[in-house]
Amino acid sequence: MPLLVQKYGGTSVGDPERIRAVADHVARTRRSGVDVVVVVSAMGRTTDDLIRLADEVSANQPAREFDMLVSSGERISMALLCMALADLGVEAASFTGSQAGIITDTNHTRAKIVEIRADRLREALAAGKVPVVAGFQGVSTARDVTTLGRGGSDTTAVALAAVLGADACEIYTDVTGVFSADPRVVPDAHRLPRISFDEMLEMAATGGRVLMLRSVEFARNHHVPLHVRSSFTWEPGTWVVEEDESMEQAVVTAVTHDASEAKVTVTDVPDRPGVAARLFRALADRSVNVDMIVQNTSQHGTTDISFTVPKVDLATSVSVCEDLRGELGVADVVADEDVARVSLVGAGMKSHPGVTATMFETLAKEGINIDMISTSTIRISCMVRAGEVEKGVRALHEAFELS
């Protein structure tokens, strides 16, 4: 029998009615002759509420207890969904991450899966049951409950699909798929019927917030086809699949944007070996995820280095730079939160010159100044003023005829 892993996000199981609608869909899938393993997120904003509760109780939350707390949201949804399935005559059984055999490292709040011992899930399937697994969590090699980081249920689903050899992993959410741009910014953005893993990775990394980045990496590495679709309309969504060389690739597939990063500039950095290494090692040691980096060629033996970091890491980043000021002889540390990034993603870019030029011309025509630029083989990103990014997205979507 074919096997599908179906993952339902927070809005898909947001209230009792939605849970019954999901149960109905699982039952129909099952009756169409397909085995199903379900992965659920916590209902609606439950995870946020639990985190707020922790903040109200304690200023110093031990990570082990934080994970114990926030992992409970998914337990609520899985038990309720199993009850709704029972009402429909579908035999189901809920499993916590630990019961599902999801073994992680000991890195609380952002644990990585190291192994999955899926025997219990296989037994449940063999007994004709639908296993319903709590997303976002596992049990560490030290036997404590861990969580996989925000949005981690996607990773649970993809990892289970990989280990169980599922035919596909369906990610049900409140949008109908992956779009050529954020439809809130570009009303005539269209749903992409299929994109490659590499494109999805670039989109997830540059603001296309439909899938958790790590889950896409996992799916690519383990060849799990993903189907991102809506649990409100149930219509076919976007397939994320291996690149098909025989297909004509679009030069530009999507325009993404992201205002979640800030820019830090250290000025008059001495231009000698080891300076950048020292700076970025110090940032890495504080777990700051640096994204774009720009260094000018030096004029008089010194240069400026600018880099971007998640806004939540800005304070840490600035203090790291300040601490190194004396040692490195930095003149100034400047933080800039008023930035946003607009990116073009497209697998066909590899073989089509001129995309960068058209992008710069389009932004220039709109009077948008480019602050920083970075590229990969299938992406071009420009940092611009935050207030201008949406205008840029619209202009690029039109210039590359994505409507």
Residues that bind ligand ASP (CB under 6 A): 9-10, 41-42, 47, 73, 135-136, 150-154
> What is the closest distance, in whole angstroms, from the C-beta atom of residue 264 to ligand ASP in the complex?
27
**Tokens found for residue 335:** 């933080």
The span from the CA of 293 to the CA of 372, in Å, is 8
Secondary structure class of 125 (helix, strand, coil): helix
> What is the closest distance, in whole angstroms, from the C-beta atom of residue 46 to ligand ASP in the complex?
7
- Amino acid identity of residue 216, one-letter, is V
Per CB under 5 A, the segment of 10-18, 139-147, 289-297, 340-348 that binds Mg ion is: 10-18
Per CB under 5 A, the segment of 7-15, 187-195, 292-300, 376-384 that binds Mg ion is: 7-15
Which of the listed partners (Mg ion, ligand ASP, none) does 152 bind, with a CB threshold of 5 to 8 Å by partner kind?
ligand ASP
**Tokens found for residue 185:** 């910014």
Nearer to Mg ion by C-beta: 10 or 138? 10
Cβ proximity of 311 and 261 under 8 Å: yes
> What is the closest distance, in whole angstroms, from the C-beta atom of residue 15 to Mg ion in the complex?
15
Q: Which residue has its beta carbon closest to ligand ASP? A: 153
* Options 5, 7, 8, 10; binder of Mg ion; rule CB under 5 A: 10
Nearest to 254 by CA among 327, 215, 198: 198
Angle ∠(34,35,37) on CA atoms, nearest 5: 135
Nearest to 120 by CA among 138, 94, 144: 94
H-helix or E-strand containing 392? helix 389-399
Nearer to ligand ASP by C-beta: 29 or 41? 41
Which of the listed partners (Mg ion, ligand ASP, none) does 136 bind, with a CB threshold of 5 to 8 Å by partner kind?
ligand ASP
Residue 207 binds Mg ion (CB under 5 A): no
> What is the closest distance, in whole angstroms, from the C-beta atom of residue 136 to Mg ion in the complex?
8
DSSP 299: S
> What is the closest distance, in whole angstroms, from the C-beta atom of residue 143 to Mg ion in the complex?
26
Which of the listed partners (Mg ion, ligand ASP, none) does 177 bind, with a CB threshold of 5 to 8 Å by partner kind?
none
Nearer to ligand ASP by C-beta: 28 or 52? 52
The span from the CA of 36 to the CA of 230, in Å, is 17
Whole-angstrom CA distances from 16 to 43, 80, 194 are 9, 8, 32
Nearest to 81 by CA among 136, 22, 166, 127: 22
> What is the closest distance, in whole angstroms, from the C-beta atom of residue 161 to Mg ion in the complex?
18
Cβ-in-10-Å burial (0-12, 13-18, 19+) of 193 comes to exposed
Q: Which of residues 12-71 bind Mg ion (CB under 5 A)?
A: 41
Angle ∠(217,147,114) on CA atoms, nearest 5: 55
Site string for Mg ion, 210-229 (x = CB under 5 A): --------------------
> What is the closest distance, in whole angstroms, from the C-beta atom of residue 323 to Mg ion in the complex?
36
Q: By the criterion CB under 5 A, which residues form the site for Mg ion?
A: 9-10, 41
